[in-house]
């Protein structure tokens, strides 16, 4: 007796990321109506199911879709402008703030769609928007390009160190609630929405209390940034902003905080006890010289059992949206900082980009692993390139993280739909997308007075 399915993907190795972390040789995943219906040996599933389509790569590595837990799709068009430009405050005040509030929703849509296209082509199937002022445009771009993700409305009612544009707490909450009501559960559940608290120093207690109350009423979590520094703790050894967020109830609403930086040991335990999700973004930290690798507490958060995911942050400060390359940095950079060759490593970095990333976003019931009943978000990597040799599938996760990049992506499936097929984006015309992105960038830069200025003379 055979059963019809929409898709059967066969590969030389299947990294399930199930609780046992099983890797199946000559494995397969069967997909029907957007969900995984079976995971097993290819010969067995081929006999059990009649697929409408078969994708068969004997030299392929099939994995869960990669999860970018902290991304700024709104800022994609700024890529190149922030190269080697001062510290994070100068970049934010001089460029990011004027850009964020100087572009139209239509331009934000173009920025986000190009951002998501690059993500998909590199194997990222899910993102978490770090909160933007044009949430509708971001969400619509995600719907149209076919990626999964979380959107949130930017929320800041005091300038803080980065001088973000501010609004009154009531207006912020009203806009944020409208975003959740419009987008949470959209596209058959592919899009979720959260509330946001931009940064501890840019939000008042009143805004925190209002956001926590609405998050509880709406049944959603909170998105935010958190940059702890070694000089932050009080005399009792606690970080004052962690204490503040804990007292205001922020930590009780499944928050996911990016960057983190440095936290005292007691506050690491507070994050773990409250189920706080953390997102490590090594690329902007290293590109911008922030100090997260040298002084941060990412290894301690991991050891404490905090759900730590990975994020590429913004293309303009990360410079690439390839989570395979991000995994390499997460796996290796802390070893140098700690002078310990066993810190993090390839397999933990891969967990951070899949099941731990799903846990950080409170989405582990649907994504992050290849298990029956979960949404069919899959990535098939081609291991025939020279960077995978010798014996590309002998230790496939280590080979992926230490040797490969998103260039190895062959097929990407989101919610059962093939969105990258043999390396080609199926949900948009790539040439038209590039032309639109460049044209829009030129228009925005001319209006705002921005330019990409190479360091060396160009004649």
Q: Are residues 217 and 330 in the same domain?
A: yes
Domain extent for 120: 66-360
Is residue 133 scored above 70 in pLDDT? yes
CATH number of 29's domain? 2.30.40.10
The 3-state secondary structure of the chain, one letter per residue: CCEEEEEEEEEEEEECCCCCCCEEEEEEEEEECCEEEEEEEHHHHHHHEEEEEEEEEEEEEEEECEEEEEECHHHHHHCCCCCCCCCHHHHHHHHHHHHHCCCCHHHHHHHHHHHHHHHHHCCEEEEEECCECCHHHHHHHHHHHCCEEEEEECCCCCCCCCCCCCCCHHHHHHHHHHHHHHHCCECCCCEEEEEEECCHHHCCHHHHHHHHHHHHHHCCCEEEEEEECCCCCCCCCCCHHHHHHHHCCHHHCCCEEEEEECCCHHHHHHHHHHCCEEEECHHHHHHCCCCHHHHCCHHHHHHCCCEEEECCECHHHHCCCCHHHHHHHHHHHHHHHHCCCCCCHHHHHHHHHCHHHHHHCCCCCCCCCCCCCCECCEEEEECCCHHHCCCCCCCHHHHHHHHCCHHHEEEEEECCEEEEECCEECCCCHHHHHHHHHHHHHHHHHHHCCCCCCCCCCC
Domain boundary (338, 360, 382) is at: 360
In a domain, 222, yes or no: yes
Task: Give 291's pLDDT tier (boundaries 50, 70, 90).
Answer: confident
Higher pLDDT, 86 or 84: 84
From CA 190, how far away is CA 148, in angstroms rounded?
Answer: 5
Q: Are residues 288 and 303 in the same domain?
A: yes
Q: Are residues 347 and 272 in the same domain?
A: yes
Burial of residue 459 (CB within 10 Å: 0-12, 13-18, 19+) is exposed
Q: Are residues 269 and 325 in the same domain?
A: yes
Contacts of 397 (CB under 8 A, 6+ apart): 15, 23, 346, 347, 350
Q: Are residues 54 and 88 in the same domain?
A: no
In a domain, 435, yes or no: no
Q: Are residues 208 and 235 in the same domain?
A: yes
In a domain, 29, yes or no: yes
Q: Distance of alpha carbon 258 from its chain centroid, rounded?
A: 10
Q: Are residues 138 and 29 in the same domain?
A: no
In a domain, 425, yes or no: no
In a domain, 429, yes or no: no
Q: What is the pLDDT of residue 1?
A: 60
Q: Are residues 59 and 126 in the same domain?
A: no
Is residue 237 scored above 90 in pLDDT? no
What's the whole-number average pLDDT of the chain?
95
How much is the pTM? Answer: 0.97
Closest C-alpha among 397, 321, 305 to residue 360: 305
Q: What is the pLDDT of residue 92?
A: 78
pLDDT in tens, 355-395: 999 999 999 999 999 999 999 999 999 999 999 999 999 99
Q: What is the pLDDT of residue 163?
A: 63
From CA 76, how far away is CA 115, in angstroms rounded?
Answer: 6
Q: Are residues 73 and 156 in the same domain?
A: yes
Beginning with the edge strand found earlier in the chain, give each strand of the sheet holding 49-64 in spatial order.
35-41, 23-32, 3-15, 49-64, 378-382, 409-414, 417-421, 424-425
Q: Are residues 57 and 129 in the same domain?
A: no
In a domain, 431, yes or no: no
Mean pLDDT, residues 269-283 taken together: 97
Mean pLDDT, residues 127-132 taken together: 95
Mean pLDDT, residues 164-185 taken together: 91
Is residue 162 scored above 80 in pLDDT? no
Task: Give 139's pLDDT tier (boundaries 50, 70, 90).
Answer: very high
pLDDT in tens, 90-121: 777 788 888 999 999 999 999 999 999 999 99
In a domain, 458, yes or no: no
Q: What is the pLDDT of residue 311?
A: 98
Cis peptide before 390 (omega within 30 of 0): yes
In a domain, 441, yes or no: no
Domain boundary (313, 339, 360) is at: 360
Q: What is the pLDDT of residue 159?
A: 81
Q: Are residues 130 and 238 in the same domain?
A: yes
pLDDT in tens, 205-230: 999 999 999 999 999 999 999 988 77
Q: What is the pLDDT of residue 58?
A: 98
CATH number of 267's domain? 3.20.20.140
Q: What is the pLDDT of residue 235?
A: 66
pLDDT in tens, 29-71: 999 999 999 999 999 999 999 999 999 999 999 999 999 999 9
Q: What is the pLDDT of residue 305?
A: 97
Q: Are residues 96 and 16 in the same domain?
A: no
Instruction: Tell me how many domains the chain contains.
Output: 2
Contacts of 307 (CB under 8 A, 6+ apart): 275, 277, 278, 356, 359, 360
């Amino acid at each position: 007796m055979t059963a019809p399915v929409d898709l059967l993907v066969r590969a030389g190795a299947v990294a399930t990321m199930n609780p046992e972390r099983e890797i199946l040789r000559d494995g397969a995943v069967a997909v029907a109506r957007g969900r995984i219906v079976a995971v097993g040996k290819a010969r067995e599933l081929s006999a059990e199911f009649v697929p409408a389509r078969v994708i068969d790569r004997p030299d392929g590595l099939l994995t869960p879709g990669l999860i970018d837990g902290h991304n700024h799709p709104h800022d994609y068009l700024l890529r190149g402008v922030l190269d080697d430009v001062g510290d994070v405050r100068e970049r934010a005040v001089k460029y990011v703030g004027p850009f964020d509030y100087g572009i139209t929703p239509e331009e934000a849509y173009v920025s986000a769609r190009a951002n998501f296209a690059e993500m998909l082509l590199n194997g990222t199937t899910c993102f978490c928007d770090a909160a933007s002022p044009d949430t509708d445009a971001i969400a619509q771009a995600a719907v149209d390009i076919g990626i999964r993700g979380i959107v949130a409305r930017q929320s800041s009612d005091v300038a803080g160190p980065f001088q973000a544009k501010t609004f009154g707490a009531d207006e912020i909450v009203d806009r944020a609630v409208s975003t959740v009501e419009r987008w949470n559960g959209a596209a058959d559940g592919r899009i979720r929405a959260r509330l946001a608290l931009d940064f501890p120093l840019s939000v008042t207690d009143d805004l925190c209390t209002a956001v926590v109350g609405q998050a509880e009423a709406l049944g959603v979590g909170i998105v935010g940034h958190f940059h702890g520094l070694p000089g932050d703790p009080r005399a009792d050894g606690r970080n004052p902003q962690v204490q503040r967020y804990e007292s205001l109830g922020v930590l009780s609403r499944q928050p996911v905080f990016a960057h983190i930086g440095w936290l005292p040991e007691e506050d690491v335990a507070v994050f773990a006890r409250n189920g706080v999700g953390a997102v490590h973004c090594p690329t902007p930290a290293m590109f911008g010289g922030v100090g997260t690798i040298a002084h941060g507490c990412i290894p301690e958060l991991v050891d404490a059992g905090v759900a730590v995911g990975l994020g590429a942050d913004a293309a303009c400060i990360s410079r690439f949206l390839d989570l395979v390359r991000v995994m390499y940095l997460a796996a290796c950079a802390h070893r140098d900082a700690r002078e310990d060759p066993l810190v993090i490593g390839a397999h933990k970095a891969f967990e951070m980009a899949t099941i731990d990333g799903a846990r950080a976003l409170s989405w582990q019931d649907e994504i992050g692993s290849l298990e029956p009943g979960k949404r069919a978000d899959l990535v098939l990597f081609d291991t025939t390139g020279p960077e995978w040799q010798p014996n590309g599938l002998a230790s496939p996760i280590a080979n992926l993280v230490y040797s490969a990049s998103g260039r190895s992506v062959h097929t990407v499936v989101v919610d059962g739909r093939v969105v990258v097929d043999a390396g080609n984006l199926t949900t948009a015309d790539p040439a038209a997308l590039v032309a639109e992105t460049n044209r829009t960038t030129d228009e925005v830069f001319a209006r705002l007075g921005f330019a990409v200025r190479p360091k060396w003379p160009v004649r």
